């Protein structure tokens, strides 16, 4: 049976803006820390925190495919999808697939840990920021624990990003669609039976 390919709008403008703003913001935050432009690093951090708060809210009130409930899968469905990837014939999802959903939730949680440890570090070591009230509440040892935790979480993110990119490349090849481009255009393919040939 022949199939005809149509396009469906999946990613709304807020999700796409969040995604690419996060990419740019993370790169700028990392570079500013590496070269020692700490004032810029802090400002970019606040911007990224705002992005994360927005995405969490949008995950509850946004459009269909941006809502968290649209990509919460059972462990069984997730494992079935992973096995199907290995077999070379995973099911096609318009929104996030089970493997992609794990990555999304993992990255959101990791970002929250990065930002929380960064805010605590800003307060207890640099004596700045909205958590300044913590400055005299923790020991020096605890202060540097949070500083090292912040660096550690960033290092974990640097490991997860290539995994995310590999997933995008793998999904693009297996489903014969450009997933990166869909995050620019918002469109993904919808494969439908050709009724004229049924």
Burial group, residue 69, by CB count within 10 angstroms (0-12, 13-18, 19+): exposed
Architecture of domain 3-66+95-197: Up-down Bundle (1.20)
pLDDT tens sequence across 135-146: 889 898 999 999
Q: How many CB atoms lie within 10 A of CB 126?
A: 13
Between CA 196 and CA 198 the distance in angstroms is: 6
Count how many residues are written for the chain. 198
What confidence tens digit (pLDDT) does each residue in 94-139 have? Answer: 999 999 999 999 999 999 999 999 999 999 999 999 999 998 898 9
Q: DSSP labels for 81-96?
A: HHHHHHHT-PPP-SS-
pLDDT tens per residue, range 7-22: 899 999 999 999 999 9
Label residue 191 by pLDDT band (50, 70, 90).
low
Distance, in Å, from the CA atom of 190 to the CA atom of 4, rounded to the nearest integer, reads 8
């Amino acid at each position: 049976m022949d199939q005809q390919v149509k396009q469906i709008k999946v990613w709304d403008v807020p999700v796409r803006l969040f995604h690419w703003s996060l990419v740019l913001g993370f790169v700028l935050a990392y570079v500013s820390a590496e070269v020692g432009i700490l004032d810029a690093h802090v400002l970019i951090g606040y911007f990224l925190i705002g992005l994360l708060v927005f995405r969490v809210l949008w995950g509850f009130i946004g459009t269909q495919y941006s809502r968290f409930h649209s990509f919460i899968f059972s462990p069984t469905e997730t494992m079935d999808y992973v096995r199907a990837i290995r077999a070379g014939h995973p099911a096609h999802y318009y929104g996030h697939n089970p493997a992609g959903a794990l990555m999304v939730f993992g990255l959101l949680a990791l970002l929250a840990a990065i930002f929380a440890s960064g805010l605590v570090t800003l307060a207890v070591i640099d004596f700045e920021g909205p958590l300044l009230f913590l400055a005299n509440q923790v020991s020096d040892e605890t202060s540097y624990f949070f500083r090292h935790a912040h660096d550690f979480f960033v290092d974990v993110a640097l490991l997860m990003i290539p995994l995310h990119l590999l997933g995008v490349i793998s999904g693009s090849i297996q489903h014969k669609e450009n997933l990166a481009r869909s995050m620019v255009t918002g469109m993904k393919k919808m494969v439908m039976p050709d009724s004229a040939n049924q």
